[in-house]
Amino acid sequence: MSVPDYMQCAEDHQTVLVVVQPVGVVPEDQFFKIYKRISSVSQVSIRDSQRLLYIRYRHHYLPENNEWGDFQTHRKVVGLICVTACASAKEWPQTAERFHGQKEVYGATLYDSRLLVFGLQGEVAEQQRTDVAFYPGFEDCPDVEKRVDDFVESIFIVLESKRLDRATDKSGDKIPLLCVPFEKKDFVGLDTDSRHYKKRCQGRMRKHVGDLCLQAGMLQDALVHYHMAVELLRGVNDFLWLGAALEGLCSASVIFHYPGGTAGKTAGRKPSVSQPADAGKRHRPGALSANGISADTSTEIGRAKNCLSPEDIIEKYKEAISYYGKYKTAGVIELEACVKAVRVLAMQKRAREASEFLQNAVYINLGQLSEEEKIQRYSILSELYERIGFHRKSAFFKRVAAMQCVAPTIPEPGWRACYKLLLETLPGYSLSLDPKDFSQGTHRGWAAVQMRLLHELVYASRRMGNPGLSVRHLSFLLQTMLDFLSDQEKKEVTQSLENYTSKCPGGMEVITLPEGLKLPPVPFTKLPIVRSVKLLDLPVSLRPHKVKGLLGQNMSTASPFIYSPIIMHNRGEERCKKIDFQWVQGDVCEVQLMVYNPMPFELRVENMGLLTSGVEFESLPAALSLPAESGLYPVTLVGVPRTAGNITVTGYHTSVFGVTSDCLLEGLSGVKTGGSLVEVIPALPRLQLSTSLPRSAHASQPTSKEELSSSVSVQLFNGETQQLTLTLENIGSEDIETLELTSKILSTKEKVFGEFLSWQLDDALSRLPLKAGQAVTLSVDIKVKLDFSGQESLLQDLNDDGISVAGLPISSPLRQLLKPRPENKTLGSESGRTEYSHIKTLEAVLSFRYSGGAGKVEGYHRELTLGVHVDVEPSVFFTRVNTLPATSTRQCHLLLDIFNPTEHELSVSADNNQDLVLHASECQRMAIQVDKFDFESLPQPDQETARFTNPKQLEEERQ
């Protein structure tokens, strides 16, 4: 016997074997439909007795295995059911002949046989025969099961008669010697009259009767016979049959202890306990009467005495297997006994001992096995290891079976079968095909083994001709095992991946295998690794501002309470919270990612863009190249919201090595985000500002902390006026419907006289609404008047005698009085010039507030700011002031020493005087005739103080 039945279990010893085979040409699907119906009759309750007959069906059974029927009767084919399709009466004789030929194959052991004929009608079909049943068609055969029932009963009658025939001890008759096939030649010429020989015959026959009793449903009798056989055979050292007797004893005991069976399938046999019990001789195993006490204590005691305990069952199995091991030709019997013992130990939850039996089974040599038999052997070993909870060992053997499917000796390797088996090994190695299982916590399982297995899956799927599957497995390997790959392996894996994706790009679709298994997509969240995601506000000039006083949508939903704990609880995750700025429909919005490249080579990321929800969003993809092991690297992704509403940035998409990935933020661990929900308001117009003056190099530091859209700078002499021409162009798609202009001088120590900035807006407003692409110009006058007096040290340096006359610096008499003069210092002219050459600075901000389109309806506007930076140089200094009496008593001469601090020639003109021309750094005296004060008309002292403390009035007085 060369082919083991790996599905055997201990309770199969009580079954009778029936072979069901097609005769002639029978469609396979129809045959198996009938086979399924026949095999549903797996146990039959025999009439007029309390016994059950169990049937084991096979549609394929080797005749050479049948030769071991005397050794263990459950291996003997006792019934044959043939299924045939016969269309006409002409074919019938040939069909009957074939049926007869089939019976010949198993002829020696058959108890009974049946032929089921489908499709034949007419005279032949009407003849009444016990061994043939005629049916009009495969679909029209209602009583198949009933026929099988009758057939099984006829088998039971033969079985029972054989049992009775063998069991009755005819002391006068000679007991034949039962043999296994390989023994026949050994017993030729033996002394058949010796006591040893007779004992051997008796022992073997006892064991055989035990088998028949077990099949006939007489467990108690079987136990007794097996015990007697063991004693007899042990005495004559008949080890092979002693092993069989011990195994029979174990099987009977297992049937008693585990009435539900040891096969491990839920659809096992019905527990024999449930059968009705006759209080007398035919008591079923374990049956109890109504009050829970055994109906027949004598048989129960007998059974308990003969039946092995669960521990003894295993001991006896070990002994039996050790005896089988003495015979090379009994390898199959030994292997099957190991498998049966393992199934029993699995029921007893004794995994370690079961593994010892399995280890023994691995090393049993069965001679030359075909590749298919090897695959079956390793697969069954794997299943048994799985049953006892040795998941990794189970996976190991399943992988061996997979490799056997594509062994070099096979002319047509079965890559599909190999792939399927490899997939089944994954759980044993703590591998799943879902990358989410590897995203959190520590890595489970041995990474080196897992990588090997994934590589084998990649190779198998490529040989199957499915590059898409290879790409998915290789992507999974790269994503989940990245931390365990060496630099060289990273290069090799990515090169392989690029080779595969050149033929079949990887995507985010779920791959469904023919077996129904679904392979989830593998997004490359580690290529590159993202550490933070930050939504950026619009540039200052494009930020929307809400018109104060208008109740927007946000106001209406606001809570009337100052504090509400409910709101706090509803916030949810940090990344779901709303950001306090807005984006604008139709304007480019930015999100900054901090990424780094974990690879030892440059990483090219093509087509990286944003994934969003809530608003129609046009993502503008970017391509980037990250240097090897780059460290944190900022990447800005942009897009344009096309509608208004709330938008959530859910993640980003990339294309790396030909694999496109959608990486969702919720699946990324360790990513910092300051929220990903932002409001998109309706579209607003966009204004571009260009000026006639050069842009300022000065970085203005406004006190209000607002950033300026742009700024201009200009250098003027004190008292000079410059015109600034501004061009305002609508570069957006919405019309500009409103425009306002305001100015603000930034806080300065200098006192500005007159208007610093002045403009006329009417002309520009008359051009509104300003369509897209249109421009309007506007002139702004910049006029500077500052006070450059109070340069005491300078004045002192310029005086001829170093002492000022009894006059005052004209523009600031009060300051001179209130602030005592510093000590005289001898200053060189150079230091004096540096002292005076301080340029005074004026800064102001022009703010353009404009709005239009749908955003205006919602109450939003934009502001464009222009910083104006003016450096003011002094144009003229009055270094000394004095008076002389004039001809008229009502007038006097005012003497002014005028100094030109500029590098240019300048002319000074005064009323009723000729012009005075001063060269650069030149000082000259000028006399001006002025009226004297009329002291009577002077105001009261308190008013006078007020008058003199007001610098503006002083300035006017001076003029």
Euclidean distance between CA atoms 134 and 86, whole angstroms? 10
The predicted model gives 793-817 an average pLDDT of 40
Euclidean distance between CA atoms 17 and 60, whole angstroms? 11
Instruction: Tell the CATH topology of 687-792+837-873.
Output: Immunoglobulin-like (2.60.40)
pLDDT above 70: residue 181? yes
- What is the structure's pLDDT at 804? 37
The predicted model gives 364-385 an average pLDDT of 90
More confidently predicted of 735 and 822: 735
Q: What is the pLDDT of residues 139-164, one digit of tens each?
A: 888 889 999 999 999 999 999 999 99
Class of domain 171-262+307-363: mainly alpha
Are the beta carbons of 263 and 30 closer than 8 angstroms? no
CA quadruple 237, 239, 241, 243: dihedral sign: positive
- What is the structure's pLDDT at 240? 96
pLDDT above 70: residue 946? no
Q: What is the pLDDT of residues 701-760, one digit of tens each?
A: 554 446 777 888 888 888 888 888 888 888 888 888 888 888 888 866 777 777 888 888
More confidently predicted of 768 and 281: 768
What is the architecture of the domain spanning 10-168?
Answer: 3-Layer(aba) Sandwich (3.40)
Structure tokens given for 950: 């007001």
SS3 for 13-40 is HHEEEEEEEEECCCCHHHHHHHHHHHHC
Burial profile 284-306: b = 16 or more Cβ within 10 angstroms, e = fewer = bbbbeeeeeebbbeebbeebeeb
For residue 768, name the pLDDT band (cuts at 50, 70, 90).
Answer: confident
CB atoms within 10 A of CB 761: 12
Q: What does the domain layout of the chain look like in residue ranges?
A: 10-168, 171-262+307-363, 364-519, 529-546+578-681, 687-792+837-873, 877-931
- What is the structure's pLDDT at 463? 92
pLDDT above 80: residue 299? no
- What is the structure's pLDDT at 571? 40
Question: Nearest-5° angle of CA 56, CA 58, CA 64?
Answer: 105
Q: What is the pLDDT of residues 182-205, one digit of tens each?
A: 887 777 767 778 888 899 999 999
- What is the structure's pLDDT at 826? 38
Beta partners for residue 723, in sequence order: 781
- What is the structure's pLDDT at 1? 62
Beta partners for residue 37, in sequence order: none
Question: Which one, of 582, 580, 591, lies nearest residue 530 by Cα?
Answer: 591
- Residue 60, phi then psi, degrees to nearest 5: -145, 125
The predicted model gives 646-672 an average pLDDT of 90
- What is the structure's pLDDT at 474? 93
3-state DSSP call for residue 67? coil
pLDDT above 50: residue 288? no
**Can you tell me which residue has the tokens 């018109």?**
547
Q: What is the DSSP track for 447-491?
A: HHHHHHHHHHHHHHHHHTT-HHHHHHHHHHHHHHSGGG--HHHHH
Are the beta carbons of 494 and 647 closer than 8 angstroms? no
Question: Which one, of 79, 99, 85, 81, lies nearest residue 28 by Cα?
Answer: 85
Question: According to CATH, what is the number of the domain 529-546+578-681?
Answer: 2.60.40.10
Structure tokens given for 184: 């026949």
What's the mean per-residue pLDDT of the chain?
Answer: 82
pLDDT above 50: residue 918? yes
- What is the structure's pLDDT at 824? 38
Beta partners for residue 925, in sequence order: 897
pLDDT above 90: residue 675? no
Euclidean distance between CA atoms 795 and 822, whole angstroms? 12
For residue 491, name the pLDDT band (cuts at 50, 70, 90).
Answer: very high
Question: Which one, of 776, 561, 595, lies nearest residue 687 by Cα?
Answer: 776
Are the beta carbons of 498 and 659 closer than 8 angstroms? no
Euclidean distance between CA atoms 583 and 550, whole angstroms? 19
More confidently predicted of 672 and 935: 672
- What is the structure's pLDDT at 925? 83
For residue 303, name the pLDDT band (cuts at 50, 70, 90).
Answer: low
Are the beta carbons of 73 and 211 closer than 8 angstroms? yes
Comparing 529-546+578-681 with 687-792+837-873, is the CATH topology the same?
Answer: yes
Lowest average pLDDT, out of 337-351, 362-376, 381-395, 494-508, goes to: 362-376
Q: State which H helix or E strand residue 226 sits in.
A: helix 219-235
Lowest average pLDDT, out of 35-39, 468-472, 830-834, 870-874, goes to: 830-834
Q: What is the identity of the amino acid at 223?
A: L
Lowest average pLDDT, out of 26-35, 544-553, 556-565, goes to: 556-565
Q: What is the identity of the amino acid at 639?
A: G
pTM score of the predicted model: 0.74
- What is the structure's pLDDT at 211? 96
Lowest average pLDDT, out of 272-276, 612-616, 619-623, goes to: 272-276
- Residue 322, phi then psi, degrees to nearest 5: -65, -35
- What is the structure's pLDDT at 274? 33
Structure tokens given for 664: 């969702």
Are the beta carbons of 116 and 84 closer than 8 angstroms? yes
Structure tokens given for 938: 């002077």
3-state DSSP call for residue 870? strand
**Can you tell me which residue has the tokens 């080890």?**
239
Question: According to CATH, what is the number of the domain 364-519?
Answer: 1.25.40
Total count of residues recorded for the chain: 959
Structure tokens given for 936: 């009577």
